[in-house]
């Protein structure tokens, strides 16, 4: 809400060149950029503005509800500068307009606030005389358009931020969420992260990460207060019952995998089973659950391993 | 700790965790490398009989020096009598060197291997000298060859690590990489006799992304395998020496290696 008000004040700046009576008709191009908003999010915009011939104050529209104090106003034939402070918005800024010729100027208004920095670049080109009163209605319409443009840009910025925070939560990496705590409110995104970590899909993904990783299962479980053992048990039961994820069962569920291996892998040749539903399961089981016991290096242990393996797998 | 396979991977190795042994019963010795970096190993430096994995060195020497795929090679009586895996070549038959290389690498034909070694160096023993010199150049510290084709011999030895390095080197040669990816091939003698050869690498065509390299088996060496697999940008090399269930084990280890690669990318 505050950022919206800030935007309105700045947008009004362009139309503030106009005063009642005869004046100069300027074609003014504005380009707004905001901190945290992707470059080019808000395209340049060109308007015709009827403004007073002599500037006696900064080209800033004063919002009655959020009035800004102007100071250090200077005006020469070639340059106008000023400072501004908006107590309501806790916002400070500077403005500068340089007359590059009697019929043209460039300028920039920089504002800072607790919500970030905004910059508005200005370029004006005089295109003739104008009737300021008659232009008033047009200016108001133009202001409305720019206001809408600003609102859309701010919404896009907010959406981009929300999307980035959601992506961080989806990545299930507490470190990242902590690092972005000022942007991604923990109250919103921690539950989102933990909900994914608790889901079957998220839990399997965590199981696949290095155990000692800072975004690994143990770290995330601690962050979310998850009961890992209970989740593993539940997941193994579900995966084995429907054989929906045999690779997971082969690797993580010895109790559930053993009977499937005995039923589907025992005595099967790799070349015969390759390409079938159980090929991956049998291969993973063979690698992940080798013969229990001692190292194969000693002859007796190796003989034991060979004997046990041959009882389960074909050659 | 074994260093990274490739010089390019050596920098990354400095920050990489030491290889672990998650498959203690998979093989007497094994090495699993992801993108040139060894992640899992067991007794990887221990010298063992390499069986027909030896032929990776034979092939490397052949293609590295004056390789003429169309050179006509006459099969000697000795080569024709080679034991073990054979293409069924007869003494006096003439074949193109590339056909013999194909038979040697695809079906591990010892008669083709012997003929090529004799052709290249004049004798098997002279070829073996070259093999040992090349092994030294490659810093294969645990490797010593006594014959060019991998027959069991007390002096024939290599390690899982050395064979991984050798495989990486051999696969840099398109001639070798192309042949070891073939499931079957037809070779012809100069007189037109066709001989069908079929790969012994059961992972080819069955395990996604497998593109070589070599199998081996002798009574002394047991079942051996070097397999190269690529999925996307990730490359996995598996060396198994004396692995009773080499196909099941290799297939499982390969899947886990790609999972590991994925996990490391997320770390």
Q: Quick one: A159 exposed, middle or buried, by C-beta within 10 A (0-12, 13-18, 19+)?
A: exposed
Mean pLDDT of the region A133-153? 71
From chain B, the residues in CB contact with A309 under 8 A are 25, 244-245
Mean pLDDT, range A6-21, rounded to an integer: 42
Per-residue confidence (pLDDT) for residue B101, from 0 to 100:
98
Q: What are phi and psi of B84, to 5 degrees?
A: 85, -150
More confident call, A62 vs A74: A74
A202 touches B: beta carbon within 8 Å: no
Q: Which of A95-109, A159-173, B89-103 has the highest mean pLDDT?
A: B89-103
Q: Is A218 on the interface with B (CB under 8 A)?
A: no
CATH topology of domain B4-266: Beta-lactamase (3.40.710)
Q: Which residues of B are catalytic?
A: 52, 55, 108
Higher pLDDT, B191 or A314: B191
Residue B257 predicted with pLDDT over 50: yes
- Specify the higher pLDDT residue, A121 or A294: A121
Whose CA is closest to B51, among B180, B240, B198? B240
Smallest CA–CA distance, residue B233 to chain A, in Å, is 19
**Tens of pLDDT, residues B210-239:** 999 999 999 999 999 999 999 999 999 999
Return the axis-axis angle of helices A186-198 and A132-170, rounded to nearest 10°.
40
Is the pLDDT at B45 greater than 50, yes or no? yes
User: What is the three-class DSSP state of A73?
Assistant: strand
Name the residue ranges covered by the structural domains of chain B.
Answer: 4-266
Which chain B residues contact residue A282 at CB under 8 A?
A: 248
Number of H helices, E strands in chain B: 9, 9
Whether A105 contacts chain B with CB within 8 A:
no
- For chain A, give every residue range classified as CATH 2.40.128: 9-139
Q: Hey, which residues does B234 pair with through a beta bridge?
A: B231
Contacts of B19 in chain A (CB under 8 A): none
Kind and range of the H or E run holding A23:
strand A22-34
User: Which of B244, B253, B257, B262 to mutate to test binding with chain A, by most A CBs within 10 Å of its CB?
Assistant: B244
Which residue has tokens 């504002």?
A: A111
When the candidates are 3.40.50, 1.25.10, 2.40.128, 2.60.40, the CATH number that belongs to A9-139 is: 2.40.128
Range in A35-39, A57-61, A298-302, B67-71 the model is least confident about: A298-302
Question: How many of the other CB atoms lie within 10 Å of CB of A126?
Answer: 16
Cβ distance A270 to B266 less than 8 Å, yes or no, reads no
pLDDT level of residue B16 (50, 70, 90 thresholds): low
Task: Please report the residues numbered 255 through 274 in chain A whose beta carbons come closer than 8 angstroms to any beta carbon of chain B.
Answer: 265, 270-271, 274
DSSP codes of every residue in B11-65: HHHHHSPPPB-S-TTT-SEEEEEETTEEEEEESTTS-B--GGGGHHHHHHHHHHS
As a whole number, mean pLDDT of residues A234-239 equals 88
> In the predicted model, what is the mean pLDDT of residues B187-210?
95
Minimum distance, in Å, between the CA of residue A270 and any CA atom of chain B? 6
- pLDDT surpasses 80 at B136: yes
Q: What is the pLDDT of residue B1?
A: 31
| Cβ–Cβ contact A210 with B under 8 A | yes
pLDDT band, very low/low/confident/very high, at B26 (cuts 50, 70, 90): confident
pLDDT over 80 (residue A308) = no
| Phi, psi angles (nearest 5°) of residue B231 | -130, 120
What is the pTM (predicted TM-score) of this model? Answer: 0.62
């Amino acid at each position: 809400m505050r950022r919206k008000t800030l935007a309105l004040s700045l947008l009004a700046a362009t139309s503030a060149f106009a005063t009642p009576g005869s004046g100069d008709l300027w074609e003014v191009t504005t380009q707004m950029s905001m901190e945290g908003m992707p470059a080019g999010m808000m395209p340049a915009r060109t308007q015709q503005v009827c403004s007073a011939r002599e500037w006696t104050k900064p080209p800033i529209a004063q919002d009655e509800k959020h009035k800004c104090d102007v100071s250090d106003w200077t005006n020469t034939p070639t340059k106008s500068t000023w400072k501004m402070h908006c107590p309501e918005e806790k916002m400070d800024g500077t403005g500068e307009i340089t007359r590059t010729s009697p019929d043209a100027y460039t300028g920039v208004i920089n504002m800072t606030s607790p919500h970030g920095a905004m910059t508005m670049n200005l370029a004006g080109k005089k295109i003739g005389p104008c009737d300021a009163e008659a232009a008033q209605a047009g200016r108001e319409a133009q202001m409305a358009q720019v206001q809408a443009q600003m609102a859309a840009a701010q919404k896009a910025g907010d959406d981009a931020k929300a999307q980035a925070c959601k992506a961080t939560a989806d990545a299930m990496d507490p470190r990242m969420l902590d690092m972005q705590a000022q942007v991604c409110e923990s109250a919103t995104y921690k539950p989102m992260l933990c909900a994914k970590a608790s889901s079957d899909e998220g839990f399997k993904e965590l199981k696949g990460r290095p155990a000692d990783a800072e975004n690994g299962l143990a770290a995330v479980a601690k962050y979310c207060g998850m009961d890992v053992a209970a989740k593993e048990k539940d997941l193994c039961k579900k995966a084995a019952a429907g054989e929906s994820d045999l690779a997971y069962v082969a690797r993580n569920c010895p109790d559930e995998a053993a009977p499937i291996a005995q039923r589907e892998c025992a005595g099967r040749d790799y070349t015969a089973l390759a390409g079938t539903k159980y090929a991956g399961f049998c291969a993973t089981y063979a690698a992940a659950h080798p013969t229990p016991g001692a190292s194969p290096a000693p002859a007796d242990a190796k003989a034991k391993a060979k004997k046990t393996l041959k009882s389960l797998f074909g050659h | 700790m074994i260093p990274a396979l490739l010089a390019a991977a050596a920098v990354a190795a400095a920050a990489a965790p030491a290889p672990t042994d998650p498959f203690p019963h998979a093989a007497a010795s094994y090495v699993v490398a992801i993108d040139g970096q060894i992640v899992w190993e067991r007794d990887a430096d221990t010298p063992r009989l390499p069986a027909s994995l030896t032929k990776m060195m034979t092939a490397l020497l052949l293609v590295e020096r004056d390789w003429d795929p169309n050179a006509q090679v006459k099969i000697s009586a000795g080569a024709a009598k080679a034991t073990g895996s054979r293409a069924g070549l007869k003494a006096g038959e003439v074949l193109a060197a590339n056909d013999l290389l194909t038979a040697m690498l695809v079906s591990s034909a010892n008669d083709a291997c012997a003929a090529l070694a004799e052709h290249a160096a004049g004798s098997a023993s002279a070829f073996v000298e070259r093999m040992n010199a090349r092994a030294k150049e490659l810093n294969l510290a645990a490797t010593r060859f006594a014959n060019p084709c991998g027959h069991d011999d007390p002096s024939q030895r290599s390690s899982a690590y050395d064979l991984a390095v050798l495989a990486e080197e051999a696969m840099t040669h398109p001639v070798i990489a192309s042949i070891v990816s073939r499931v079957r091939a037809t070779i012809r003698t100069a007189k037109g006799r066709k001989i069908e050869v079929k790969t012994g690498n059961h992972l080819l065509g069955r395990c996604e992304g497998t593109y070589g390299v070599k199998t081996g088996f002798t009574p002394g060496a047991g079942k051996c395998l070097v397999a190269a697999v690529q999925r996307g940008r990730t490359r996995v090399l598996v060396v198994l020496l004396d692995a009773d269930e080499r196909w099941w084990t290799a297939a499982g280890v390969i899947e886990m290696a790609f999972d590991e690669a994925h996990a490391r990318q997320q770390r």
